[in-house]
């Protein structure tokens, strides 16, 4: 059992999972269904298939099948950049002088630089298999758009990306990566859609938001023959694809007889966290093992810690189905936090249900504390982390320091979702001492929650 743990635990190619794990199959309280905003009845497969690919609709609605086979074409693509290493953070442990054992699962080893490629390739595959011409999507900071561009290039699909305007302007290199992979990139809100024109006339000079870009992308997908919309987080299907992260992590730990005590991940829409914890939460649900699971969110966009569990719109334009989730209200405009991937007003309904059932905990952290942890991690472990991922680093360090006080030898596993090479403006602000912490007031949150749909 006490095999020496290497710095990096690599699985072999043949150990890449052959099936995704659908944790909903083992949840007693299933996540609430998406509702049609007009009728307030659960969305049917037919209704959903106007927006999403057929196979993905099936996965979205499937609350009972625990394992869903990963098609060979997707597995072959995974082989180009997976399995992702599980790293023992020996250097960080030593620096912190903690008795805790820290591991991180690193998902930044691909050009898109994050875990998002795991679902992008799956969604592109099903779109291609259905004979579609292309897909539309939104992107905030740009990671999802990049991942989807790569996936679409691989399968020869057209890719139209609506990029939140402020990111489009601040991250020209992200935009060029997407264009290099053949995607068209439009700053949102734009004049190319009805909803975009409406938002522009109401809020001229707006920086845009994820919710608004989603509305535009959905409008284009549903008005263009041969196109469907794809989403990079929040949905059940995305958490399903991301379970590859957790399955690999579990396999690597099992190989060395290591049992995690605590699993930590950042939570924007909840896909990396949902994927990382899936097999562990499954064990917890089946009563086979227990874990502390901690979702980490920015103090500027605290859906779990200060939001409400209710049905809400997924987008600003209110064209998408209603989802029951922890939400700050779809009209909530998060302050300009540098972790663009964590600026969504809501949260995956699977994770929301698990949180409501007390199966996972949540914590919010301030931006400057996050970058302090990011800088420390970069200097000690070598990897320059994405600001989003650094939320998990922050809490992993905090928990390791608690272990130092108590002398407990806890095993901490956290998700290092990506690299921060395109976030150097944020690092620059931090390095120059110009980074600020934005925390919404109770009144701001109350105001946006007062506009929740009445269901
Ligand atoms: C998008 C993103 C996230 C947050 O998205 P989730 O769906 O909550 O996982 C976290 N880290 C990175 C690097 C991202 O790109």
- H or E element at residue 364: strand 361-365
Choice from 140, 150, 233 to test ligand 1 binding pocket (greatest atom count within 8 A of CB): 233
- H or E element at residue 313: strand 308-313
Determine the Cα–Cα distance for residues 245 and 275; give it in Å rounded to an integer.
6
Rounded to 5°, angle at Cα 30 from 28 and 34: 175
Question: Which of 47, 50, 115 is CA-nearest to residue 78?
Answer: 115
Ligand 1 centroid to residue 130 C-alpha, Å: 27
Question: Which of 339, 122, 120 is CA-nearest to residue 210?
Answer: 339
- pLDDT tens-digit map of 373-432: 999 999 999 999 999 999 999 999 999 999 999 999 999 999 999 999 989 999 999 999
Question: Which atom of ligand 1 approaches the CA of 418 most closely?
Answer: 13
- Domain boundaries defined on the chain: 8-16+82-113+236-449, 21-69+116-229
Angle between helix axes 236-255 and 117-129 (nearest 10 degrees) is: 130
**pLDDT at position 320, please?**
84
Over residues 337-349, the mean pLDDT reads 87
Residue with tokens 């995305």: 238
Q: Residue 29, class by beta-carbon neighbours within 10 Å (0-12 exposed, 13-18 middle, 19+ buried)?
A: exposed
Those residues with Cβ within 8 angstroms of residue 133's Cβ, 6 or more apart along the chain or in another chain: 157, 158, 225, 226, 227
**pLDDT at position 3, please?**
66
Choice from 274, 326, 341 to test ligand 1 binding pocket (greatest atom count within 8 A of CB): 341
**pLDDT at position 316, please?**
74
454 vs 17, higher pLDDT: 17
Ligand 1 centroid to residue 242 C-alpha, Å: 11
Question: Which of 302, 290, 364, 295 is CA-nearest to residue 328?
Answer: 302
Residue 170 reports pLDDT greater than 90 = no
DSSP state of 342: G
Q: Which residues pair with 68 in a beta bridge?
A: 20
Question: Which atom of ligand 1 approaches the CA of 140 most closely?
Answer: 1
Identify the band that residue 315 occupies on the pLDDT scale cut at 50, 70 and 90: confident
417, 117, 79, 22 alpha-carbon torsion, rounded to 10°: 80
Instruction: Map residue 338 onto helix, strand or coil.
Output: coil
Residue 2 reports pLDDT greater than 70 = no
Ligand 1 centroid to residue 338 C-alpha, Å: 13
Closest residue to atom 5 of ligand 1, CA basis: 268
Question: Which atom of ligand 1 approaches the CA of 274 most closely?
Answer: 9
Equal CATH topology for 8-16+82-113+236-449 and 21-69+116-229? yes
Closest residue to atom 10 of ligand 1, CA basis: 388
- Residues in contact with ligand 1 by the CB-under-6-Å rule are 114, 116, 143, 233, 266-272, 341-342, 386, 388-389, 417-418
Ligand 1 centroid to residue 341 C-alpha, Å: 5
Those residues with Cβ within 8 angstroms of residue 256's Cβ, 6 or more apart along the chain or in another chain: 3, 5, 9
Tokens of 104: 């991180």
Over residues 91-96, the mean pLDDT reads 98
Determine the Cα–Cα distance for residues 248 and 240; give it in Å rounded to an integer.
14
Ligand 1 centroid to residue 4 C-alpha, Å: 32
Residue 1 reports pLDDT greater than 60 = no
Over residues 104-110, the mean pLDDT reads 97
Choice from 84, 105, 110, 115 to test ligand 1 binding pocket (greatest atom count within 8 A of CB): 115
Question: What is the average pLDDT value for the chain, to the nearest integer?
Answer: 95
Q: Are 300 and 291 in contact (CB under 8 A)?
A: no
Choice from 110, 111, 140, 143 to test ligand 1 binding pocket (greatest atom count within 8 A of CB): 143
Question: Which of 82, 79, 146 is CA-nearest to residue 113?
Answer: 146
Q: Which residues pair with 328 in a beta bridge?
A: none
Ligand 1 centroid to residue 306 C-alpha, Å: 20
- H or E element at residue 161: strand 158-164
Residue 209 reports pLDDT greater than 90 = no
Question: Which atom of ligand 1 approaches the CA of 342 most closely?
Answer: 4
Rounded to 5°, angle at Cα 414 from 76 and 400: 155
CATH of 8-16+82-113+236-449, one of 3.90.1150.10, 3.40.50.720, 3.65.10.10, 3.40.50.1100: 3.40.50.1100
Cα 375 from chain centroid? 22
Question: Which atom of ligand 1 approaches the CA of 233 most closely?
Answer: 7
380 vs 336, higher pLDDT: 380
CATH of 21-69+116-229, one of 3.30.750.200, 2.60.40.10, 3.30.479.30, 3.40.50.1100: 3.40.50.1100
Determine the Cα–Cα distance for residues 268 and 178; give it in Å rounded to an integer.
22
Over residues 14-38, the mean pLDDT reads 97
- pLDDT tens-digit map of 32-60: 999 999 999 999 999 999 999 999 999 99
Q: Are 420 and 386 in contact (CB under 8 A)?
A: yes
Closest residue to atom 7 of ligand 1, CA basis: 271
Closest residue to atom 3 of ligand 1, CA basis: 341
Those residues with Cβ within 8 angstroms of residue 235's Cβ, 6 or more apart along the chain or in another chain: 60, 348
Residues of the chain with pLDDT > 70: what percent?
99
Between the CA of residue 326 and those of 26, 148, 264, 311, 355, what are the distances in Å?
A: 21, 26, 19, 9, 9
Ligand 1 centroid to residue 335 C-alpha, Å: 18
**pLDDT at position 408, please?**
97
**pLDDT at position 75, please?**
98
Its pTM stands at 0.97
Over residues 325-347, the mean pLDDT reads 87
**pLDDT at position 340, please?**
78
Question: Which atom of ligand 1 approaches the CA of 267 most closely?
Answer: 8
Choice from 266, 293, 389 to test ligand 1 binding pocket (greatest atom count within 8 A of CB): 266
**pLDDT at position 182, please?**
98
Identify the band that residue 334 occupies on the pLDDT scale cut at 50, 70 and 90: confident
Instruction: Map residue 389 onto helix, strand or coil.
Output: helix
């Amino acid at each position: 059992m006490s095999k020496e743990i290497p710095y990096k635990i690599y699985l072999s190619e043949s150990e890449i999972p052959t099936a995704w794990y659908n944790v909903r199959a083992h949840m007693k309280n299933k996540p609430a269904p998406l509702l049609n905003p007009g009728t307030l009845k659960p969305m049917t497969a037919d209704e959903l298939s106007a927006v999403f690919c057929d196979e993905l609709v099936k996965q979205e609605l499937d609350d009972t099948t625990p394992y869903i086979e990963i098609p060979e074409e997707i597995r072959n693509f995974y082989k180009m950049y997976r399995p992702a290493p599980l790293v023992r953070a020996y250097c960080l442990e030593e620096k912190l002088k903690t008795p805790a054992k820290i591991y991180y699962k690193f998902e930044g080893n691909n050009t898109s630089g994050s875990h998002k490629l795991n679902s992008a390739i799956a969604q592109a595959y099903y779109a291609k298999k259905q004979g579609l011409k292309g897909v539309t999507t939104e992107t905030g900071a740009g990671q999802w758009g990049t991942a989807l561009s790569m996936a679409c290039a691989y399968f020869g699909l057209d890719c139209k990306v609506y990029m939140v305007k402020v990111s489009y302007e601040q991250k020209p290199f992200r935009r060029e990566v997407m264009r290099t992979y053949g995607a068209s990139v439009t700053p949102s809100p734009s004049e190319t859609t009805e909803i975009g024109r409406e938002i522009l006339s109401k809020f001229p000079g707006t920086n845009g938001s994820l919710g608004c870009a989603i509305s535009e992308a959905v409008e284009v997908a549903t008005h263009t023959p041969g196109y469907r919309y794809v989403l990079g987080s929040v949905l059940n299907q995305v958490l399903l694809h991301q379970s590859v992260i957790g399955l690999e992590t579990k396999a690597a730990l099992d190989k060395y007889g290591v049992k995690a005590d605590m699993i930590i991940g950042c939570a924007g829409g909840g896909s990396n966290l949902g994927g990382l914890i899936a097999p562990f939460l499954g064990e917890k649900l089946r009563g086979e093992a227990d874990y502390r699971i901690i979702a980490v969110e920015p103090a500027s966009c605290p859906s779990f810690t200060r939001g409400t569990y209710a049905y809400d719109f997924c987008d600003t334009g209110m064209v998408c189905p209603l989802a029951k989730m922890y939400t700050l209200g779809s009209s909530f405009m998060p302050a300009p936090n540098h972790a663009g991937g964590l600026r969504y007003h809501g949260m995956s309904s699977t994770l929301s249900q698990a949180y409501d059932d007390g199966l996972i905990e949540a914590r919010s952290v301030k931006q400057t504390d996050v970058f302090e942890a990011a800088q420390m991690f970069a200097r000690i472990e070598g990897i320059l982390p994405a600001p989003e991922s650094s939320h998990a680093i922050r809490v992993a360090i905090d928990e390791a320091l608690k272990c130092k006080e108590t002398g407990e030898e806890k095993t901490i596993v956290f998700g290092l979702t990506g690299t921060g090479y395109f976030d150097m403006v944020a690092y620059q602000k931090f390095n120059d001492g110009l980074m600020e912490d934005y925390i919404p007031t109770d009144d701001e949150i109350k105001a946006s929650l007062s506009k929740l749909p009445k269901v």
